[in-house]
Every structure is written in C-alpha cells, then in structure tokens.
C-alpha cells in the first residue's frame, strides 16, 4: 500500500513539474508571432512623418523629423489587424506587412503610410532592440539598442557619470551570439555578446588598438 502511495505521489510530482514547465514557456512568449513582424526600426517612406522603433518588450520610440524622440508603448491586434501606440495616438489599420516593409491606414486621419525596415531582421537582432539595464551598488547603467543606433547612460545616484550615443551595426553570429560595433565621436568600439537563457544580455568589450576606450564602461551583463 505504501509503495503504491509513493508511486502515485511520484507520478503527481512529475506531472506538476511538466505542467509548470509548459506554463512557464507560455508566459515567456509574451508577444505574438504576428506582432514579432513589427519589432525593429522603421523609416517612413511616404512623408516626413515620424520614424518608429518597436521593441519586443512592448515599448516603442517615435522619432519625429523636427522634434525630440517620444517614448511609449505599442501593441498589435492580429484580429483587427491594428497597430496602436501611446505616442500621439498614432495607430494604423494594417494593409500589408512583410519582413522588411509594412503599410497601413491611420485610424484618425485615414491616411496611408508605408514603412521600410532599417537594417536586417534576425531573431537575435530583434531581441537586442530594446532598453537594457544593470546596477552595481548605487551605479545604474542603461543601454538602448535599435537596428542602427544606441544610447548609453551611466548614473551614480542622481549624478550623471557618462552619456554616449551614436550609430551601431549588429552582426548576428548565430546560436544567440553576435558582434556589435558602436560609434562615438568618429571612433568605434566593438563588443561581442551573448543572449543568455535567462533573457539577460552579456556584452564584452574587445581590447583592440582601434577601439575607443571610453566605451569600455558599457561592458557588463544587462537585464
């Protein structure tokens, strides 16, 4: 009787473990396959209206031509085929979407806009295009990456210790590893990195003669 009871408990434990794993996997996939098509940086083809950056974590950046960037959130309703943002109430009813282009009719003005992707799309580059952060005591480090730009801020408490931004190029090396080249003041720094299984990002500064040492502070593990 005890043996049967122990076997029953063992089977229940195995079932719970597998159920937990399945639930965990579902929770990790917090963006739909249809929405993933929009993750990246997009340039407007039809007018001087703003360009956009849509990130996998649900944040976005509106990049107007004559004003400062605006941060916000975005979502895609695959049933209505509607792409919505919290930036200036911008929203589109999507007509066409491919890997490198999409077009839609704005909900408020019924105007047609077309966008083309900046850079190339891979699973790695999509995952990289978001805001990352890490802390070390009272020091905070924030790194935002898009398909073609980066910005970095190092603060100690309320004091800004370093601030860098510029162009970047991402090379996908496969197997969740990559290389990224960041430019600043006409010079460049190259990093190698890896997307870890826990979702964190590890960047390693390459010691090279041509690398700008100022950007070495970017090295570290981000969440």
pLDDT for the residue 182: 94
Residues 44-65, mean pLDDT to the nearest whole number: 88
pLDDT for the residue 7: 45
* Residues whose CB falls within 8 Å of the CB of residue 216, separated by 6 or more in sequence, listed in order: 189, 205
What is d(CA 112, CA 39) in angstroms, rounded to the nearest whole number? 20
pLDDT per position as a tens digit, 70-96: 999 999 999 999 999 999 889 999 999
What is d(CA 121, CA 123) in angstroms, rounded to the nearest whole number? 7
pTM for the whole structure: 0.60
Q: Quick one: tokens of 147? A: 């398909």
pLDDT per position as a tens digit, 170-194: 888 888 889 999 999 888 999 999 9
Residue 14, exposed/middle/buried by CB under 10 A (0-12, 13-18, 19+)?
Answer: exposed
Residue 3: helix, strand or coil by DSSP?
helix
Q: Is the pLDDT at 12 greater than 80, yes or no?
A: no
Quick one: pLDDT band at residue 65, thresholds 50, 70, 90?
confident
What is d(CA 170, CA 145) in angstroms, rounded to the nearest whole number? 10
Q: Which residue has the tokens 């190698």?
A: 192
What is d(CA 11, CA 86) in angstroms, rounded to the nearest whole number? 48
């Amino acid at each position: 009787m005890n043996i049967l009871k122990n076997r029953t408990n063992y089977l229940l434990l195995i079932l719970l473990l597998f159920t937990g794993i399945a639930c965990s996997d579902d929770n990790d996939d917090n963006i739909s396959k249809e929405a993933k098509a929009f993750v990246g940086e997009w340039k407007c083809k039809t007018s001087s209206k703003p360009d956009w950056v849509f990130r996998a974590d649900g944040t976005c950046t509106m990049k107007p031509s004559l004003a400062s960037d605006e941060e916000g959130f975005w979502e895609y309703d695959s049933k209505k085929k509607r792409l919505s943002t919290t930036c200036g109430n911008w929203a589109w009813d999507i007509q066409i979407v491919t890997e490198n282009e999409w077009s839609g009719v704005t909900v408020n003005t019924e105007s047609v806009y077309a966008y083309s992707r900046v850079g190339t799309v891979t699973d790695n580059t999509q995952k990289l295009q978001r805001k990352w952060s890490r802390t070390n005591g009272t020091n905070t480090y924030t790194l935002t990456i898009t398909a073609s730009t980066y910005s970095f801020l190092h603060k100690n408490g309320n004091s800004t210790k370093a601030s860098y931004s510029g162009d970047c190029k991402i090379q996908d090396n496969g197997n969740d590893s990559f290389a990224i080249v960041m430019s600043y003041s006409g010079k460049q720094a190259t990093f190698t990195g890896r997307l870890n299984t826990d979702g964190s990002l590890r960047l390693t500064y390459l010691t090279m003669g041509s690398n700008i040492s100022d950007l070495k502070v970017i090295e570290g593990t981000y969440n």
